[in-house]
Amino acid sequence: MRRFSILAVACLVVALAFTTNAWSFGRKTVIKIGINAPITGDIPKVGEGTKYAAEMWLEDVKKAGGLEVGGKKYPVELVIEDNEAKAESAVKANTKMITEDEVLVIVGPQSSKQAVPAGDVANNYETPMISPWSTNPNTTKDRPYVFRGCFLDPFQGPVLANFITEEFGFKKAAVLYDVASDYPKGLAEFFKQAWEKLHGPGSVVAYESFTTKDTDFSSQLTKIIKSGAQVLFTPQYYNEVALIVQQAHELGWKGPIVGSDSWGSAETVQLCGKDCYGLFFSTHYAAAGATGATKAFIDRYQKKYGYVPDDVAALTWDSLGIVKTAIESLDKLTGKIKKDRKAVRDAMARVKNYKGITGQMTFTEDGDPIKCAVIVRISDKGEYEFYKSVCP
């Protein structure tokens, strides 16, 4: 009995401590930012990049004495939750951060698999959320509280059409794509639309397709070469890129071949070899050859953690930057979490021409950024080099 009463007292004390703690937070208003990341699971590297970028950002904020809202500095705290790269865990992590930790904003989850269901939770609880890396349209669709830090897949079509037109001055393009796969098929269609908008109907002189697992593209490529196309666009994955590029060269293709972010795997060059040197593709961000703020970020990250940050880390950095800009643009924080969340959401939607390290961003009504893509050139050493930034 005596032991029980000690336990009961201890419990009470702990509970009291927590409540007073909560009170004091309510009074002082600490800005809590939730990070929903895959620290464990299939893609721990993605989680690590997210965490590292967030910690670097927090360091900066702390150095500045917190976030400044209406002339008053507020301390910032990160709540990092592991979603194990699973959809259920991401939903759980979001719910916990929103209801228990009372975060103001959530950054993450990264992959669409987790971001789509977790976005639903955030939207239902009217908590602003920004997924730095999710490219699936459904993440933000009809969810006013959900934003993203990267461009959507279809967006690369017009970007590449513009780039080719400006860079080479070409008028006739050919497209070769896998008709049985969603990503290439969609991108091929968007590129064709954009190209024909620029150069008139019929300017895509060859629009050829194949089916997943095909390895011989000789008849399609022969047709493309005969059509008089000046450039070949092929939004394929790395294994097909190697075959297409090599066969095109063997059949006498001399023009440039251009691709999309699906090329951006290290294996592209491994499989393709010298045939791919000098070719271009569009992507989110390029580490090699970066300048300005991007370079500063890369150097700092590399010095601190020992490796070059990937696109996840860069996009997370930018997403946190947008959150900061949005919060600091407010007149005041009321301390009432619901009201503040709404205010932050509105402020995020208002963000215009935010200068991030992955490009300038302005959000559309859907919460998707209008931003520039990076064009990467595969250098003569087989490295992915920043070439230029292209806007739609």
Partner 1 sequence: MEFFLQNLVNALQWGSFYALIALGYSMVYSILMLFNFAHGDIFMVGSYIGLGIATLLLGLGVSAGWAMPGWLVLILTIIISMFLTAFVGILVERIGYRPLRDAPRASAAITGLMIGIILETGNLALLGARRMSFPPLIKSVTYDFGGVFVTNKKILIVLVSLGLMYALHNFIQRTKWGMAMRAMSYDYLAVPLMGVSLNVIAPMTFAIGSGLASAAGILYGLAYPVLDPYMGILLGWKAFVAAILGGRGSILGAALAGFLLGFIEIFVAMIFPSTLRDLIAYSIILLILTFRPYGFFGQAHSTQLRL
- Binding-site ranges for partner 1 (CB under 8 A): 179, 208-211, 213-216, 218-220, 222-223, 226, 239, 242-243, 246, 249-252, 267, 270-271, 273
DSSP string, 54-88: HHHHHHHHHHTTSEEETTEEE-EEEEEEE-TT-HH
Give the residue with the Cβ less far from partner 1, 16 or 180. Answer: 180
Nearer of residues 36 and 220 to partner 1, judged by Cβ:
220
CB of 243 to partner 1, least distance (A): 6
Beta carbon nearer to partner 1, 208 or 368: 208
The CA–CA distances, whole Å, from 323 to 99, 170, 317, 361, 364 equal: 20, 40, 10, 12, 16
Pick between residue 28 and residue 226 the one whose CB is nearest to partner 1.
226
Q: Is 353 left (phi over 0), alpha (psi -120 to 50) or beta?
A: left
Alpha helices in 273-310 (DSSP H): 292-305
* Sign of the torsion formed by the C-alpha atoms of 320, 325, 326 and 331: positive
CB of 22 to partner 1, least distance (A): 49
Instruction: Supply 101's token pair.
Output: 């930790």
Distance linking the first and last C-alpha atoms of the chain: 74
Select 74 or 207, whichever has its Cβ closest to partner 1.
207
DSSP 167: H
SS3 call for 310: coil
Rg (CA), the chain: 24
Closer residue to partner 1 (CB): 145 or 207: 207
Question: Measured from the CB of residue 260, what is the shortest distance to partner 1 in angstroms?
Answer: 19
Report the DSSP pairing between strands 105-107 and 31-37: parallel
Q: Which two tokens stand for residue 391?
A: 């806007």
Minimum distance, C-beta of residue 101 to partner 1, in the bound complex (Å): 39
Task: Decide: 327 and 69 in contact? Cβ < 8 Å.
Answer: yes
Q: How far is CA 329 from the centre of its chain?
A: 23
Residue 105: strand, helix, or coil: strand
CB of 248 to partner 1, least distance (A): 10
Nearer to partner 1, 72 or 226 (CB): 226
Output the six-digit token pair for 180.
Answer: 């049985």
* Shortest spacing between CB 82 and partner 1, in angstroms: 26
- Closest CB 361 distance from partner 1, rounded Å: 35
Contact 51, 33 (CB under 8 A): no
Largest CA distance in the chain: 93
C-beta of 210: minimal distance to partner 1 in Å?
A: 6
Helix, strand or coil, per DSSP, at residue 172: coil
State the minimum distance, in angstroms, from the CB of residue 238 to partner 1: 8
Q: Is the dihedral of CA 315, 317, 318, 323 positive or negative?
A: positive
Tokens at residue 359, please? 């490009």
CB of 152 or CB of 176, closer to partner 1:
176
Tell me whether residue 193 or residue 329 sits nearer to partner 1 (CB atom).
193
Quote the least distance from Cβ 172 to partner 1, whole Å.
17
Q: Which is nearer to partner 1, 24 or 270 (CB)?
A: 270
